[in-house]
Structure 1
């Protein structure tokens, strides 16, 4: 939990570094800050602690989730470029500081032991993302995305809080373990039934959390917000925010409400099915690479929720492995999109269509290769991390004897096949279509980050047990 304190102090330090005339110090300083926080997080390994009057808890599961969040933040910061190019309108110190603060909120969401801390972490993360989404103040799409995200996110937070109030009224506790005990007691006293307040509270809390991870039918904000936000922050949003949201949902349902599985499990099956169908089928028709990744993010929320539903002993490691594989591949894809879009701007704006990737392999073989590996991983092709991520999730789902669950698994497999179609679009554009993409110069740090993420994707696809056993 020292990582929370360190990141908060480092974020404030970044703001003071912004007063310096030399902006070049901000990127390496932020990377060092995140690495230190990552080391402090690993110091909690094999140590189970309760912090801040039992409001937060660290154990090996939370350490793993926090590691994925910090690694994703590190990679996103490493590919952040052009932050300080515009002296008049860009404020890199503020951007980096807000990213560190948002990571604090994400960590609180995966370590909360009390619903109050879940709300605080969620708000820290959400408010930070509202600001970053609208950070390109001269871009109307960015302004629109920020306003839409803020308004819809505020409603979702209100719904979540209403659910928290109803659950507290039903169980008399904000502690997730206390709630679990209260639910079990209510079940015993009422002959297996629950009061309507508890039913309503659980449903409202699920709505608030499912909004944050872009699950259907609460996904409508995702394409426009992802498309309007600067690409670097979209990469952060689609990885860190999703990992934190899924981890928080799993922690809440598995600890507080396992006894009410029949209440939230059956509706969630239909929600997951709709999420997979909408995310994958809509992604097929996208002409923008960035919007395709937005709908892809929706579909991956569905895959992650499958293993939340499975209730297997392996669920912890399956969610962690999939989150890691998805985050690495998504950040790689956005890294390539950022440099290509900037090199082919239209009307002063980055070109984020598939056409911008045409002929990429001719003069930029490294970019084309890492893009190919990331797309193959997201599609779940063998010898990539994404393949074993889906394999572990489908294995968990197959072990569930429910006929409804078997139907969901069939939908998931079919939608994975659909995903192959649209994930191959950028690969075909890079290698099989002609274009005028010139040689794109990238910094050594940028190139090193791409090589590391690609190597990790292949390594996890060849030897998944290296990470799976740790989880």
Structure 2
């Protein structure tokens, strides 16, 4: 709870700093506050956690692990923001404050023990993101992204809230343990209204994580929003969504998995094929990353389809690998776009000759996202495939491997452009804080790929 309080108060402090024109203090104060929240989260690591605050929140190892990866990723994103938000607006305190308000909602999402807290966390996060997506007021694409995100988000919230209402109407409780006990006590007399509630919750959560066929808002919103906001949505927000998804289904609906698993199998297969095949045809690097994030949602769904004792660990490892690699990809995109003025693949032509460091870290990122061995992305996919095989879903693993091969093509387009295509270009200027973030992220990607035990046994 201390970390949530810190991250809830921190935005207010930043707004006051912005009010008194202390622009240079915004980033240091934000990072120091997040580090304090990180420390307090780690201090809550324990094995026998119990629900707190009248059963509303549960700070077990699951919530601590996902809180930590969310806070660390946010710190890396904010470090990349130095000088970025100043080019968009003179009121940069609002950017930091809204991102941190969204992060507060995310911490509630990964720590809830009552479905009402899940809804509150999602709404705190979503309302902040609606503002962030359209914060470039004079940019038509940003305005369009905000409107689409708001409409689709409100639509999905309706499904989620209706599903929660039906679950409550059947069980008489919002508490996860109470719902689970009700399911266990009446396995053959479950109200059809309860099943309808599960389906509506699946629809609502699939909207939030960008899974097909509820993904159609994702490419336009990701493309129209500022790049750092897109990075935040595609990493921290997506990870929190899957953590909330897994907690609800593992705690409450596991005894009736045979009912909802076929639905998620269809959604997973559609998500993989739609995300990867559509990404093949993109000429914009940013839009390619948007469609690839849809495919990664498909891989993350593996842990819920093959739900079991190792699902939480699988999602954590995959989410860590995906988040770190995405930080590198979007950081490189921002630098290249500032110089070339385009986010197409052609903007990366000849990058290796002029900026070998930037080309190297971006190559590591692409290899990790593609799941090549000795990178964190390979370890993440290995855990996902192993979980699916343990449930004897061999055909699903075959589908995933085919899609992984497809993804290699569009990820390697960037590598080919950097190393094998020449172009007259100037050297990209890389600020020191970018070198720090990109270098750290690349190192973590390799270290996890070589020594996966560092993160594989945390949950």
C-alpha offsets along residues 364-422 of structure 1, whole Å, 9 cap, x if unaligned? 11111110000000000011000011011101111113xxx222111001000001111
How far apart are 1:31 and its partner, in Å? 1.0
- Paired residues of 1:215 and 1:298 also in contact (CA < 8 A): yes
Contact 1:23 1:84 in 2 (8 A): no
The alignment partner of 1:424 has SS state of helix
Contact 1:359 1:437 in 2 (8 A): yes
Instruction: Find out whether 1:183 has 2:174 as its counterpart.
Output: no
* Deviates most, 282-291 or 75-84: 75-84
Deviation of 1:437 (Å): 3.0
**Secondary structure of 1:53 counterpart:** coil
Q: 1:397 pairs with 367, 388, 391, which one?
A: 388
How far residue 469 of structure 1 moved from its aligned partner, in angstroms, is 2.3
How far apart, CA to CA, are the structure 2 residues paired with 1:51 and 1:313? 23
Q: Kindly indicate whether the alpha-carbon contact (under 8 Å) linking 2:85 and 2:92 is maintained by their aligned counterparts in 1.
A: yes
What does the per-residue CA deviation read over 1:338-382, in whole Å, with 9 as the maximum and x for residues that have no partner? 11111122xxxxx11111111111111111111000000000001
Cα distance between partner residues in 2 of 1:272 and 1:304 = 9
Cα RMSD, aligned residues only: 1.2
Instruction: Tell me the distance in 1 between the aligned counterparts of 2:423 and 2:14.
Output: 41
Q: Deviations over 1:76-118 (max 9, x none)?
A: 111114345348x332111101111111111111111011100
Give the secondary structure class of the aligned counterpart of 1:18. helix
* Secondary structure in structure 2 of the residue aligned to 1:51: coil
- The reply to whether residue 449 of structure 1 matches residue 440 of structure 2 is no
Cα distance between partner residues in 2 of 1:22 and 1:166 = 49
Q: Say which SS state the counterpart of residue 51 (structure 2) adopts.
A: strand
1:266 has 2:267 as partner: no
Distance 1:76 1:38 in 2: 15
| 287-296 or 52-61: bigger deviation | 52-61
Name 1:352's counterpart in structure 2: 343
CA contact (8 A) 1:170 1:197 kept: yes
CA–CA separation in structure 1 for the residues paired with 2:353 and 2:266? 45
Counterpart of 1:436 in structure 2 is: 424
SS in 1 for 2:45: coil
* Residue in structure 2 matching 1:425, options 413, 423, 444: 413
User: Structure 2 residue aligned with 1:373, among 364, 369, 372?
Assistant: 364
Partner of 2:17: 17
Q: Which residue of 2 aligns with 1:61?
A: 62
Match of 2:398 among 392, 407, 410: 410
8 Å contact from structure 2 (residues 85, 95) kept in 1: no
**Residue 262 of structure 1: CA displacement?**
1.4
Q: How many residues align?
A: 458
Partner of 1:58, secondary structure, is coil
Tell me the distance in 1 between the aligned counterparts of 2:145 and 2:80.
Answer: 22
Q: Once the two structures are superposed, what CA deviation does each residue of 1:227-269 show, in whole Å capped at 9, x if it has no partner?
A: 0000000000000110000000100001111122111111100
Q: Secondary structure of 1:37's partner? A: helix
The residue aligned with 1:336 is 332
Tell me, in whole angstroms, the C-alpha distance in 2 between the residues paired with 1:330 and 1:217: 23
Structure 2 match to 1:348: none
Of the three residues 284, 287, 295, the one matched with 2:291 is 295
Once the two structures are superposed, what CA deviation does each residue of 1:216-236 show, in whole Å capped at 9, x if it has no partner?
Answer: 100000000000000000000
- Map of 1:464 onto structure 2: 452
Output aligned runs, 1:183-332, within 5 Å: 183-187=183-187, 192-332=188-328
CA contact (8 A) 1:162 1:201 kept: yes
Q: Aligned equivalents of 1:452 and 1:20: distance in 2? A: 34
Give 1:51 shift. Answer: 2.8
Tell me the residue number matched to 1:85: 86
- 2 CA distance for matches of 1:298 and 1:62? 24
Q: Is the 8 A contact 1:357 1:426 kept in 2?
A: yes
Are residues 209 and 296 of structure 1, via their aligned partners in 2, closer, same or farther at CA, if it must alter by over 3 Å? same
Q: 2:272–2:294: 8 Å Cα contact kept in structure 1? A: yes
Partner of 1:362: 353
Deviation at 1:16, TM superposition (A): 0.6
Q: Deviations over 1:180-231 (max 9, x none)?
A: 11122232xxxx2422210110000111001111101000000000000000
**C-alpha contact (below 8 Å) 1:83/1:92 kept by paired residues:** no
Could you tell which deviates more after superposition, 42-51 or 1-10? 42-51
TM-score (norm 2): 0.98
Distance in 1 (CA, whole Å) between partners of 2:425 and 2:363 is 17
